[in-house]
Amino acid sequence: MLKILSKWLNIYQDERGLFLWSAVLLFLIRTSGVLFNNFAETAFLKRFGVEYLPIVYMVNSVSTFVIMGFMVGLMGKLPGSRLLTYLLLFCGGSVAGLRLIIPLDIDLLYPLLFVLKAQYEVLLGLVFWNLANDLFNTRQSKRLFPLITAGGVLGGVIGSFGTPFLARTISMDNLMLAYLGTTILGAITVKRMGVRFPTLLLSDKSPKKRKSHTSIIKEFKKVIPLIKESRLVKILIMLTLMPNVVIPIMNYQFNYAIDQSFGNERTMIEFFGYFRGTLNIISLIILLFVGKLYGRWGLPVVLMFHPINYMFAFIAFLLRFDLFSAMYARISTNVLRTTMNVPATNILMGLFPESYRNVIRPFLRGTVVRIGVLMGAGFIMLSEGLVHPRYLSLVGMIFVGGWIITTFFLKRGYSKILLDLISRNMLDLKSMEDKDVGHVFNDKKVRNQLVQAFLSARGNDCLWYARLLKSLGVQGLDSYILSTLKNQGNMTKIELLSMLSPQAGDEAIRVFKELAEPGRPDLMAALVKAANRLDSGLSSDFETEVFKTTKYPEVKAYAVTGLYQQDPEKYREIIDTWLDEDDITERKAGVIAAGESGEDTYISRLEKMLTAEKNGPILPFVLAGLNRLGAPDMNTLAHTYLSHPMVSVRMAALEAFEIEDDDDLRTVIDLLNDPSNRVHEKAKHRLESSSYQNAQLLVESLTIPRRKVRDGLFYLLESMDIKNLDVFRAARFQLERSYRNMAEAETLRLLPESRERDLLLDHLEQKSKVRLENALRVLATQDRSGQTKTIWRGISSADLRQRSNSLEALDDLLDPSLSRIMMPLLEDLPPSQCLAVGRKKFKLPNFDSDPAAIYPHLLAKQNWVTVVLTLYLVSHQGADEVVKEAVENLTGSENVYICQMAQCVFDLKQDRPVKKEDEMGTEISVPDKILHLRRIKIFEGLSITELAAVASVTEEMVFQPGETVIKEGEPGETMYLILEGEVSVNKGQEQGHEIELDRISAGDYFGEMALFEDIPRSATIRTQKETRLLMLHKREFAEIVREYPQIALHICRVLGARLRRLHDKVKRNEK
């Protein structure tokens, strides 16, 4: 049921838990807030007096200014979860403390409670949403925040309807203790979230400058140039000021009318409970089912509804100052503000670039709002004792009139404002959702001016307007495109033709004939493809004419695609003939036509063409055709060609490849390292636009040691607004895997000693260290100050003092919750002590009671090196039935090395004859190769994983005595590693004589320069006795170096040391 509900609400599995906890937390915050609100408002009105509301409003406004400045400082110092916990406990504790002094009959207690209920509601909401923004990235927030808000509204409903019941059950004053109880539950929820999601507790300890609170004068100085420059800024100021003047007036009238209508506290608090509960239900229905109503009209019209409704509400108060007028005013204004005014105003604000918003938004929400509230409260105070509150409606109506006039000015100049923003490149459409873009331009006058701008534009500007008009669904766009085509350049024409709809009509065919240029195949293909989208009765003559007259097979293919729909039998024969042609251009035409035909009968034929060597040049078109025809298991087909030598093939394969899970995501991430920038950019686009996302996997991939991959990932992390929390999650995940590898290695120590065990043990220990380094790399990626990188270098230093200082600096930089699990791994503590820490934080495997259970555990790993080395160990030690079953299952593995090793072990356990290493000719296992490679000086410093990569691409050869391995002067692209035997190094002399320069034996190598340079062999290598060699070819070496660049770096380091020794030897001989 939960899975079905999650799918319906579009909540992914990995975010389900955090979403539910967040929704529950907001539910508790809103429940507590409503309880306190109902009590504080009732107590103030009945125990202190409604006439003091204006003063309280002014005090509340000033208090907000001071408290917000203080909160900015706290939010910069404490992590969001800790601050929210403290704040919940403080709010609940302070209210419970004030409950104890109620019997003292201190009158000023009630205005204090009235101010506190407003401040606490704002503060808890601010800190909660600040935390939510840290927990969820932009994509997640767009999906999940409305649902989390629904949880909060539901809390408001429960709290409201529960208020009367609690007031009767525990007394009204004890509602303050109920508030304490709900805030404690909220604090417990935050702590439990910290346990379930430990990275919540992490703080960003990078140095932050405390934001100094900007004075009103400074804010004015910042915004004045924008006011002068933009008419929209002036309008936004008025749209913010006017409502904040009238809101205190209407709130005062509402509370005054309620105070008059209810004679005692019990009836009033019951009213507040049921009224606010009903109001929250209405809000919940609107939030979940009605949606944003402002999309039906243009923004200027939508912005008129709210002030007009305020006008009606003030008229209602003027004519009938009672409970019903108050209820109408509060419900209607709240509903319209939620569904129309706030979203529409936010969209207007979103039109500005971020740099403008960063100046305008604080000014509006700070200075303008405060001025408005103080003005409204001032008018109430001036009227106190002079006129009845109903007559404040006249003051409110004056400001509402100014508000309405402002919206009329906006509507009148809206098109000019938008075009002005466009002309100055100030319109920020990228940060807006598509539906919001539609609302921005949902005005006939604006659209008409956009059309005129489109018709007069050229090149890229023309395409920009065309795409915008198409996204807006502007009627008659086809005719506008057709009218401007002749005035555009060739590439612009092609792009515009692709935007024509099937409803372009016979006018399109007339224009196509005028534009036709037989000598431009790209333009002709675009014209035919556009014609194919039209009704066949209109396009057939044009397509037939093109088919008969063009000399380009590709253009013919698109023409046949259109004609095929009218006479499939006739044109299927043409397509089949093309597919059978020997001429590659004819076959290309057949592939294009087959792919465009929509006939799935061509799928099997195109799949066969993929494997034919003669079709190499047209593979991109074959892949594109299969993709258009919807070939089954397209990802498997495309995956094969993602590493094809031809860039065009890789591009076509990537276009057809769909990202559906983590494995697909990793595949496309790897393509960020493609040598072609076209493929790199395409991979970046596919990752960014994919519906399947895993932020943690993207962050983890930053540990891939390839610059191009990291650059692409940094772009994605920034554009997708990946949060620091995702980075910390990834770091913690790497630390958990480090501990797991350590636990596995410690279990291996309990097994009998052997070189096979030690090889696997070394591998797991190395992997544990790599995981630890990955965690540091991940943390360093988001540290803009560079501190983590500096510390990392210090930790890697051979200087013990520097290492110690770096560890201390890292401990100070990290939050304790992360430091406690990372530092034991860095401090070189005994494994038993490290694992004692790890087992407290993670669920680690424990095989102390049965060490042999490690075998099936390791054989189930995804890492092929781990599995092969485990099989190698099993082949030399005993195994129970469970292990035998696991080995048998691995004989069918897709990985050739696992399959071969598993088959060897299986045969051995079944007492079948198995070739020993000296009987295997050129066939030795990868683990045996690793053991040999470790003894060769050039590879002795590499990790087991890197040695396995080298071993997997080497071939073994056996040479008899006297055979020539390489010959001086011949080209070479192979390096040789001596496993057994001995060879001589010979240099040619005049008259065909040779001189022996040196002899090298097992553990050495020769021919290494062939891997780096295309130069002839500098000497002849000849065997002196039977010699076994491993050969490493240049192409395979290049492939593994792309995956493991450390290999090339290590080899260069060894070669450099060798050159220095030779240089020193020459200098000594010269002396």
pLDDT at 310: 94
State residue 783's pLDDT score. 64
Spatial neighbors of 730 by CB under 8 A, at least 6 apart, are 696, 699, 700, 778
Token pair for residue 508? 């399109």
Q: Average model confidence (pLDDT) for the chain?
A: 83
Name the residue with higher pLDDT: 521 or 143: 521
Q: In this predicted model, what pLDDT tens digit does every residue of 956-981 receive, in sequence order?
A: 899 999 999 999 889 888 999 998 89
Question: Coil, strand or helix: which one is 995?
Answer: strand
**The residue type at 18:** L
State how far the Cα of 215 lies from the Cα of 206, in Å rounded to an integer: 27
Q: What is the pLDDT of residue 905?
A: 83
Question: In percent, how much of the chain has pLDDT > 90?
Answer: 34
- Residue in 643, 681, 690 with CA at minimum distance from that of residue 662: 690
Strand-pair partners of 996: 986
CA-CA distance, 1043 to 621, in Å (whole number)? Answer: 29
Distance CA 1027, CA 982 (A): 6
Q: Where are the domains of the chain?
A: 1-202, 214-428, 728-845, 854-914, 926-1070
The reported pLDDT for the residue numbered 63 is 81
Distance CA 340, CA 583 (A): 64
- At 623 the pLDDT is 93
Position 7 scores a pLDDT of 66
Q: How far apart are CA 623 and CA 379, in angstroms?
A: 73
Distance CA 1035, CA 1029 (A): 18
Q: Poorest-confidence range of 20-24, 173-177, 409-413, 509-513?
A: 409-413
pLDDT of residue 921: 42
Tell me how far CA of residue 478 lies from CA of 444, 500, 540, 606, in angstroms: 18, 6, 20, 35
H-helix or E-strand spanning residue 957? strand 955-959
Mean pLDDT over 503-523 rounds to 90
36/458 Cα distance (integer angstroms)? 62
Stretch 17-21: mean pLDDT, rounded?
A: 86
pLDDT digits (tens, 9 = 90+) for 484-501: 998 899 999 999 999 999
Q: What is the pLDDT of residue 1069?
A: 62
3 state SS of 982: strand
Looking at the chain, the whole-number percentage of residues with pLDDT higher than 70 is: 86
**Poorest-confidence range of 49-58, 588-597, 752-761?**
49-58
pLDDT of 243: 93
Q: Which of 544, 553, 475, 476 is nearest to 509 (CA)?
A: 544
Q: How far apart are CA 200 and CA 435, in angstroms?
A: 33
Q: Distance between terminal CA atoms of the chain?
A: 87
Class of domain 1-202: mainly alpha
CA geometry: angle at 1044 spanning 649 and 821, to 5°? 120
CATH 1.20.1250.20 applies to domain 214-428: yes
Question: Which amino acid makes up residue 33?
Answer: G
CB-side exposure of 670: number of CA atoms within 13 Å? 16
User: How many angstroms separate the CA atoms of 272 and 258, rounded?
Assistant: 9
| Residue the block writes with tokens 């009139």 | 401
In tens, the pLDDT along 766-805 reads: 999 988 888 887 777 666 566 777 787 788 777 778 888 8
Contact 976, 965 (CB under 8 A): yes
Between 198 and 833, whose confidence is greater?
833
Mean pLDDT over 197-210 rounds to 47
Q: pLDDT band at residue 729, thresholds of 50, 70 and 90? A: confident
Q: What is the mean pLDDT of residues 877-901?
A: 82
Looking at residue 338, what is its pLDDT? 74
Q: What is the pLDDT of residue 920?
A: 36
Give the range among 112-121, 690-699, 962-971 with minimum mean pLDDT: 690-699
* 530 token code pair: 């556009």
3-state SS, residue 442: coil
| Nearest alpha carbon to residue 325 among 312, 314, 316 | 316
Are 1002 and 934 in contact, with CB atoms under 8 Å apart? no
**Phi first, then psi: what are they for 1014, rounded to 5°?**
-95, 75
| 918 pLDDT higher than 50 | no
Give the model confidence (pLDDT) of 98-109 as tens digits. 999 999 989 899
pLDDT at residue 346, rounded to an integer = 74
Residues 570 and 265: their CA atoms lie apart, in Å, by 89
> pLDDT tens digits for 621-646?
999 999 999 998 899 889 989 989 89
Residue 313 has pLDDT above 80, yes or no: yes
Task: Tell me what pLDDT residue 914 has.
Answer: 47
What's the pLDDT at 315? 95
Tell me the fold of 926-1070. Answer: Jelly Rolls (2.60.120)
3-state secondary structure of 894: coil
The H or E element spanning position 966 is strand 964-966
Strands (E) across 315-427 are located at none
Residue 426 confidence (pLDDT): 61
> Does 440 score more than 70 pLDDT?
no
Q: Per-residue pLDDT for 682 more than 90?
A: yes
3-state secondary structure 264-298: CHHHHHHHHHHHHHHHHHHHHHHHHHHCCHHHHCC
pLDDT in tens, 341-395: 777 787 777 777 666 776 777 778 777 888 898 899 899 988 887 889 999 999 9
Looking at per-residue confidence, does 773 or 419 come out higher? 773
Q: Read off the pLDDT of each residue in 817-823 and give the average, rounded to a whole number.
A: 84
Under the banding of pLDDT at 50, 70 and 90, the label for residue 518 is: confident
Residue 917 pLDDT exceeds 80: no
Q: Which of 51-60, 451-460, 757-766, 900-909 has the lowest mean pLDDT?
A: 900-909
Domains 214-428 and 926-1070 belong to one CATH topology:
no
Token output for 656: 């057809």
Mean pLDDT of the 431-455 span: 71
Q: What pLDDT does residue 363 have?
A: 78
Inform me whether the pLDDT recorded for 92 exceeds 90: yes
- Mean pLDDT, range 577-596, rounded to an integer: 90
Nearest to 317 by CA among 370, 384, 246: 246
Q: Which residue has the higher pLDDT, 729 or 40?
A: 40
Q: What is the DSSP string of 47-69?
A: HT-GGGHHHHHHHHHHHHHHHHH
Assess contact for 247 and 374: CB atoms under 8 A. no
- pLDDT tier at 217 (50, 70, 90 boundaries)? low
| CA atoms within 13 Å, Cβ hemisphere of 786 | 1
Chain position carrying tokens 């890292």: 810
575 contacts 606 by C-beta, under 8 angstroms = no
pLDDT at position 290 is: 47
Cα Rg of the chain, angstroms = 38
